[in-house]
Amino acid sequence: MSASSGAAWWQTGVIYQIYLRSFQDTDGDGIGDLNGVACRLSHLLELGVDAIWLSPIFPSPMADFGYDVADYCGIDPIFGTLNDFDRLLGKVHRLGLKLILDFVPNHTSDQHPWFLESRSSRSSPKRGWYIWRDPKPDGAPPNNWISEFGGSAWSFDEASGQYYYHAYLAQQPDLNWRNPDVRAAMLDVLRFWLSRGVDGFRVDAIHHLFEDEELRDNPINPGWRQGMSPARRLTRLHTMDQPEVHDAIAAMRKVADEYDDRLMIGEAYLPIDRLMAYYGVDLSGFHLPFNFHLISTPWQPAAIAHLIRNYEAALPSGGWPNWVMGNHDRSRVASRLGPEQARVAAMLLLTLRGTPTIYQGEELGMQDARISPEHVQDPWERNVPGLGLGRDPVRTPMRWSADMHGGFTTGRPWLPVDATSIADVCRQGGDPTSSLSLYKRLLRLRKAEPALSLGSYLEVGHSDSVLIYERRYDGRRLQVALNMSADTQTLPLALPIGKTLLSTAQTGIAARDSDRLLRPHEGIIREVQT
Ligand code: GLC
């Protein structure tokens, strides 16, 4: 399709996020690895996705499970070797898929040689690679900034008598992107992997890349309530979304553009108007600044219609939209909306205009697992226990089969395999009513119908329970009607309807052609006769 439409692979394609630790273990250590991805590629082909985004694979003490990188140009032995990586990449490409890596530019591990050197003395040539400041006269940290994972964002280094800044854990010191040597070194990291053949990057925590140079205190957040994350006590006025970030993003993008057809995605949790700046001046920034708003918008037709309208209207000219329904940091969709509405959400995600990203396990309808205190792994939960901030529940291993530990590992899984909520890949694959079968049908239709990937978006209407929109391409009109309620709904008489192509309910599609009823929790895709 791309060749004839002129669209790029990442515009028509669907991205699948692999949280590597929990995908497939092949060496029995209870942690997923690169060879595990290689041996499960058939699942992704059958599912019908186009690109894989791998969570960090680099050597790391794993204080934040790979988001604390100790060497940007290697592979952590837990996950395999560079050879394994090259083999995987070759296989991915031979199968016509793309591979995207996670790039973590905001911070390194405190075990990265750069930081060890920086820490070694105030006069170290790498001192300026990180953000070091003197204590206040009373010995307190330089300002009131709070770490995303709780506690002060400053840690004191006894030996050199200064504090260093970390937006996340103390084991994740922030790099100083105002230092040209840091920038040059990090851009070389991109070149290292792009030259190896990776198809792009998902750039981690980009909104944190710069902080206020004067280190002004963040203002108190009047909206903060007991039970919310401690980091939200303050608004992040001086620690997030600083103007200098756009120049750094443009520099990353320029490197990607030295190569053919590569993709840059940015992770930025921002309101729509501020997110748009991440496309860059004249689209010189990210191809896809991740749009997380479906995760936070109330699941009601009016609210979702409003979100789509606002997002579409805010896009810069030529900017390509994208939609995310979940990831390794956020509660799973089937837990947020319930298993029935998770199916409707899948139809929404895969029929909106823009590149969708599916988080591993969503195709099975996986839910947040209950993690007992002795199994807690996430440093956020450990730092700030009991507030429900921990991300372990959304990171439990994939369930592939009825084998021990769901076929994920022959050893002891790093997080328990959740056997309570859903059937495994094998069983769902043989069941036409399963979530997996629905995802496959949706992805197949999306491939067959350019209207669903490239078509324009047209809001048709909504009620308290139903959201209706159209996708149009080259004279072809497809209508999507989503029943976001548990009751049967009647579609308006004025609405033109034609052949039903797909329903989230499993049976009787043919019989539905002329009727105007939507069953409880049903979404349908129909042709519109013109
Ligand atoms: C991003 C990642 C998250 C990680 C954090 C710090 O938000 O998605 O998992 O903990 O950055 O790198």
pTM over 0.85: yes
- DSSP label of 489: E
Examine the residue annotation and report whether 68 is marked as an active-site residue of this protein: no
Please, which pLDDT band fits residue 507 given cuts at 50, 70 and 90? low
Catalytic entry in 204, 378, 470, 522: 204
**Residues 430, 341: Cα–Cα separation, whole Å:** 22
Say if CB 185 and CB 69 are below 8 A apart.
Answer: no
Rounded CA separation 427/445 (Å): 22
In the block, which residue shows the tokens 């009373």? 138
pLDDT at residue 420, as a whole number: 80
User: Could you give all domains of the chain from N- to C-terminal order, each with its CATH number?
Assistant: 11-107+179-441 (3.20.20.80), 113-165 (3.90.400.10), 456-528 (2.60.40.1180)
Higher pLDDT, 165 or 508: 165
Q: Decide: 378 in ligand 1 pocket, CB within 6 A.
A: no
Q: What is the pLDDT of residues 486-499, one digit of tens each?
A: 999 998 877 777 89
pLDDT at 513: 59
Question: What pLDDT does 494 receive?
Answer: 78
* Protein residue with its CA nearest to atom 2 in ligand 1: 204
Query: What are the pLDDT digits (tens) for 468-487?
Result: 999 999 999 999 999 999 99
- Average pLDDT of the residues in 152-173: 98
Active site residue 148: no
pLDDT tens readout for residues 101-144: 999 999 999 999 999 999 999 999 999 999 999 999 999 999 99
pLDDT in tens, 14-70: 999 999 999 999 999 999 999 999 999 999 999 999 999 999 999 999 999 999 999
Q: From the CA of 503, how far away is ligand 1's center (Å)?
A: 36
pLDDT at 516: 85
Q: How far is the CA of 329 from the centre of ligand 1 (A)?
A: 7
Measured in Å, residue 205 CA sits from the centre of ligand 1 at: 6
How many helices and strands (H and E) does the chain possess?
A: 17, 18
Query: For 435-464, what is the mean pLDDT?
Result: 97
Say whether pLDDT at 173 is over 60.
Answer: yes
What is the SS3 string spanning 47-89? HCCCEEEECCCCCCCCCCCCCCCCCCCCCCCCCCCHHHHHHHH
Catalytic residue among 258, 282, 464, 513, which?
Answer: 258
* Residue 1 pLDDT class (50, 70, 90 cuts): very low
